[in-house]
Amino acid sequence: MNDTIRDVVFVDGVRTPFGKAGKLFEETRADDMIIRCIRSLLRRNPGLPPERVDEVALAATTQIGDQGLTLGRTAALLAGLPRSVPGYSIDRMCAGAMTAVTSVSSAIAARQYDIAIAGGVESMSNHPMGEGVDPNPRIVAERLVDPDALQMGFTAENLHDLYPSITKDRADAYAVGTQQRYAAAVERLQDDITTMAARSDEGWTVAVADELPRPETTLEGLASLRTPFRPHGRVTAGTSAPLTDGATACLLADAETAAELGLPVAMRMVGFAFAGVDPETMGSGPIPSTEKALARAGLSIEDIGLIEINEAFAVQVLAFLEHFKIADDDPRVNPWGGAIAMGHPLASSGVRLMTQLAREFAAHPEVRYGITTMCVGLGQGGTVIWENPNFKGAK
């Protein structure tokens, strides 16, 4: 019996354009968005026999309606994969797709799968966060969790309290910067966006680009926005990820199978970690998850040349940077922009981070290691460390 751990590689990733909730994809089924991503993956990788896919793991935060019914299986069938290909659904709120990736990657490393598809989808138009949930009343009554923890904007204000040095002005400046970085890189990002049909009262259209970026954002404009979560607070719509519809999917394999089939290798997984924090300050989650992942890999933050961190809120990114003594405008961090600009369709965002990092790796052969990391509702963080196969040595 061969019990050696295999290398897991990220072959390819794709996503729909991200649309503003209540706008572009309001009349589009969530499962149709993820089906489009799976079909695009297969079309982009014609060397992959569909019957070789061992698993389809798909995430959604609200698993009802068109995001329910074991989405990994139903979407696989509707995408045209053989009936022999199984699938399942997964939920870790915003880190759903990230958890789908780490779950199937663990099975690949352990020689249980050779190839898997992982991803996520969220229609925040039709399934707003918290729809249909029934929290056990003891979680609040017994003070296990403050009621504020159930509202993400409140947790962002709490994080400002925890880090008084992170002022509203700093958060505003970060938000302007990420809008500018996205605008500068938008053409590069198009390579991994598949077109998506969308219907509205005005008829059918074909979405080809993200709907949400605001490149005209200025410090003066952000300063005038109201603070909806707290009177005289610091969190605004301009320093938060907008409510978003969208889907992502990626192809993962072991290195030997990828070579056998002639599949490209965009990244190699080094390791990952998830961690829990106080739900009331859930935005701090990426700090312990990154510390844990780095320690397990025998690396330090100085070894990381690119950081893709999900921008649920500007304060959450700044807390991470402050902890690791990284400058607010460090070029390693979200160099092509982040979720404040392009949107955050909850459970799908983890794979968006990975796909973007893979593109950045190709553009930066001097970088060996990068991370994808994100905060998670109810007090968690997730981090995955990746190695750049294009690494040629530091300049």
CA distance 356 to 344: 14
Query: Could you confirm whether domain 138-188+270-386 is CATH 3.40.47.10?
Result: yes
- Angle value at C-alpha 285, between 283 and 288, nearest 5 degrees: 145
Instruction: State residue 1's pLDDT score.
Output: 63
Pick from 394, 108, 123: which is nearest to 250 by CA? 108
Question: Which residue is catalytic, options 127, 160, 344, 364?
Answer: 344
The pTM score is 0.96
- Does the annotation count 250 as an active-site position? no
**What's phi and psi for 287, nearest 5 deg?**
-70, -60
Please identify every stretch of the chain with a pLDDT value under 50, giving residue numbers as ranges: none
What are the DSSP E strand ranges found in the chain? 8-15, 19-20, 55-59, 87-90, 115-123, 196-200, 203-207, 244-254, 267-276, 304-309, 369-376, 380-387
What is the per-residue pLDDT across 229-248, written as a single tens digit (0 to 9) for each? 999 999 999 999 999 999 99
Task: Give the Cα-Cα-Cα angle 287, 17, 356 (nearest 5 degrees).
Answer: 40
Helices (H) and strands (E) in the chain, counts: 12, 12
Distance from C-alpha of 246 to C-alpha of 263, rounded to nearest angstrom: 26
Taking alpha carbons only, the member of 76, 116, 120 closest to residue 254 is 116
Pairing of strands 87-90, 55-59: parallel
Closest Cα partner for 283 from 370, 352, 378? 378
Q: Which of 37, 94, 160, 364 is catalytic?
A: 94
Q: What are phi and psi of 200, to 5 degrees?
A: -140, -175
Task: Specify whether 37 is catalytic.
Answer: no
* pLDDT for 72: 97
Neighbours of 103 (CB within 10 A): 18
Kindly report, residue by residue over 301-312, the tens digit of the pLDDT. 999 999 999 999
d(CA 330, CA 346): 25
Rounded to an integer, what distance in angstroms lies between the CA atom of residue 31 and that of residue 82? Answer: 18
Taking the domains of the chain in order of start, what are their residue ranges?
138-188+270-386
Catalytic one of 37, 127, 160, 375? 375
How far apart, in whole angstroms, are the C-alpha atoms of residue 5 and residue 106? 9
